[in-house]
Amino acid sequence: MVHVNGDNKSDSLIQVRSLFKTYTRGNESIEVLKNLNLDIDRGEFVAFMGPSGSGKTTLLNLIGGLDLPTSGSIVVDNDEITGISGSKLTDWRARHVGFIFQLYNLIPVLTAFQNVELPLLLTGLSKAQRRDHVEAALSIVGLEDRMHHFPRQLSGGQEQRTAIARAIVSDPTFLLCDEPTGDLDRTSANEILELLSRLVEDFNKTILMVTHDPAAACQAHITLHLEKGVLIESSKVVCE
């Protein structure tokens, strides 16, 4: 279930309370998120839509521990992440969050295998264990035959699938996707969205996705609209 009114008392995976984020440029303060409340249960696939500058990516960054709120709290899996800082937050992020970006953001000098292996270098896994995890992740995204290719040797869709494999290889608590299909053609975008849906259905992953694309949003269980820093409604976008 997903709630945006902040009065939910359940043990939701993600609980956002009275969240504010204000950026300051010179003398000017820009309030990006205003008193935002949100509860998301495990296994949900949530899409965030809204115009540019509405605060979608900022919300994602805050939930993912990439940025700190001006005020308010974010609790993920019973961890109050707004109270964590520095290296502990980095460790928390490595354990709990998988990130998928619009531009894939693979390291160009590493093969698909090595890109996926990257987060595992921070774990205590042996080389053999890492190999098993990487192969399993690449197999889930259907790239086991491309594992030794460099990003430049892959199509956009394949690059994004590699990025998804990298995001899931350490079995994070939830995935954050920032316009994962924004740089792909329709066919590749549909493949990625199907893959994300499968991660939710087959592996009970929780996914929060920012998108401008209604076709992408329709794959989600629910779509939340952000406008001027406020979550104004929730609905299910129907696929055409």
Partner 1 sequence: MNAVSLILMNFRRKRIRKILTVCSFAVALFLFGILAIIYDAFYLPIEIAGADRLVVQNKISLIMPLPYSYRGKLKQIDGIDLVSYGSWFGGVYQDERNFFVQFAVDTETWNDMFPEFIIPPEQWKAFVEDRQGCIAGQNLVERYGWKIGDRIPLKGTIHQGIWEFNLRGVFQGKRASDDTSQFWFQYKYLDEKSDLMRGYVGWYYVHVSDPGRAEAISDEIDDMFANSPYETVTETEKAWTAAFIRQFGNIKVLLMSVGGVVFFTLLLITGSNMAMSIRERTGEIGIMKTLGFGGKRILFMVLAESLIIALAGGGIGLFMAKLFAMQGDPTGGFLPVFYLSSRNILLGLSISVLIGLAAGIIPAVQSMRLRIVDALRRV
- Please state, in angstroms and rounded to a whole number, the distance separating the CA atoms of residues 85 and 134: 29
- Please state, in angstroms and rounded to a whole number, the distance separating the CA atoms of residues 122 and 74: 25
Site of tokens 């491309």: 146
For partner 1, the binding residue among 84, 118, 136, 218 (CB under 8 A) is 118
- The stretch near partner 1 (CB under 8 A) out of 24-32, 77-85, 109-117, 186-194 is 109-117
Which is nearest to 31 in space by CA: 43, 39, 23, 40?
23
Q: Does 105 bind partner 1 (CB under 8 A)?
A: yes
Tokens of 11: 């043990």
Nearer CB in complex with partner 1: 169/237: 169
C-beta of residue 46 within 8 angstroms of C-beta of residue 58: no
Q: Does 27 bind partner 1 (CB under 8 A)?
A: no
Q: Does 173 bind partner 1 (CB under 8 A)?
A: no
Q: Does 103 bind partner 1 (CB under 8 A)?
A: yes
Q: What DSSP assignment string belongs to 34-84?
A: EEEEEEE-TT-EEEEE--TTSSHHHHHHHHTTSS--SEEEEEETTEEGGG-
For partner 1, the binding residue among 84, 94, 136, 230 (CB under 8 A) is 94
Q: Does 20 bind partner 1 (CB under 8 A)?
A: no
- Please state, in angstroms and rounded to a whole number, the distance separating the CA atoms of residues 216 and 48: 10
Least Å distance, CB 108 to partner 1, is 7
- SS3 of 116, please? helix
Q: Does 66 bind partner 1 (CB under 8 A)?
A: yes
Nearer CB in complex with partner 1: 85/235: 85
Helices (H), 124-185: 127-140, 156-168
For partner 1, the binding residue among 24, 87, 126, 187 (CB under 8 A) is 87
Tokens of 153: 């040797």
Q: Does 82 bind partner 1 (CB under 8 A)?
A: no
For partner 1, the binding residue among 90, 129, 153, 155 (CB under 8 A) is 90
Least Å distance, CB 43 to partner 1, is 24
Tokens of 96: 């709990």
Least Å distance, CB 5 to partner 1, is 28
Q: Does 107 bind partner 1 (CB under 8 A)?
A: yes
Given the rule CB under 8 A, which residues bind partner 1?
61, 64, 66-67, 87, 90-91, 93-95, 99, 101, 103, 105, 107-110, 114, 117-119, 121-122, 127, 166
